[in-house]
Structure 1
Amino acid sequence: MTVAPEGLVADAGRLLLPPAGTMQTLAPGLRARAAAVLLRMALEQALDAYWRRITPRMTRVGKHRMLCLEWYAGRDTARRCRTTWAALSATCHYRTYELPPAPTEIQARLEEVIGLLAALNSGPGTAPVVRRTDA
């Protein structure tokens, strides 16, 4: 069973800001790291859905999704996608010598993922973004 990217983002939000009266058995850093994993999954699923609309073959290799995104979704969306994915990936990897991520840091990433989901859902059809290089 797969969960829609929006559902993963909502789950990440509940991890970061649990409802009042909920028993919190996980430390804030652990909840933030788990939320980062969910946000990265949401971003990856949104990218897959975007590329399935454009060209299904692009979903095979993750690196190609990011490299070619600039030509289809625009430079700003591609840059935001790369930096957000890289930051979430770094947060997802557990290192014993580093402090866990702060919930406020992951909350900022959550807002960015929400914006990226909206940008990818309202993406272009099949024509790539054309830039003039002679100007």
Structure 2
Amino acid sequence: MSASPETLVTAADRLLLPEAGTVTTLGPGQRARAAAVLLRMALDQALDAYWQQVTPSMTRIGKHRMLCLEWYAGHDTARRCRTTWAALSAACHYRTYELPPAPTEIQTRLLEVTSLLAALRGSPGTTSVTSAGGA
């Protein structure tokens, strides 16, 4: 059994801001990268839960669920999901020639994921194509 998206966000928050007196063996960059992994997992699980309510077949292919989200959850929510998921994906990857993500950057992403969890938990599939579309 996997942890809920909210549990993953809480764990990421604890990694980013450990309690006073907590001994940490990981540096701030490593904790930020680990928190980014947890946040991306939380967003993936929230998207799966959203699509499970709308149409279960959309949980099979990640690209399709992101592309079609605009017509079901609205333009703003879909844009925020794409942007946040891409930023977290970039932060998760280790590259020897790049510095790890800054804890403040991942803390900002944590707030965005928390907001997206609430938006995706709302009534799925109620946004019409005409209200979600547009330039």
Within 5 Å, give how 1:113-132 maps onto structure 2.
113-124=113-124, 126-131=125-130
Unaligned runs of 5+ in 2: none
- Compute the displacement of 1:128 (Å): 4.9
Query: Which amino acid is 1:42 matched to?
Result: A
SS at 1:131 equivalent: helix
Aligned equivalent of 2:60:
60
Equivalent residue, structure 2, for 1:109: 109
Alignment of 1:1-135 (within 5 A): 1-124=1-124, 126-131=125-130
SS of aligned partner of 2:123: coil
CA RMSD of aligned residues (A): 1.5
Q: Which amino acid aligns with 1:47?
A: L
Gaps in structure 1 of 5+ consecutive residues: none
**Matched letter for residue 105 of structure 2:** E
Q: Please give the alpha-carbon distance, in whole angstroms, between the structure 2 residues aligned to 1:85 and 1:91.
A: 10
Name the amino acid aligned to 1:27: G
Runs of 4+ in 1 over 6 A off after TM superposition: none
Q: TM-score, normalised by structure 2?
A: 0.94
Alpha-carbon contact 1:50-1:123 (below 8 Å) kept: no
How far 1:127 moved relative to its partner? Answer: 4.7
Between the aligned residues of both structures, percent identity stands at 74
Number of residue equivalences: 133
TM-score normalised by the chain length of structure 1: 0.94
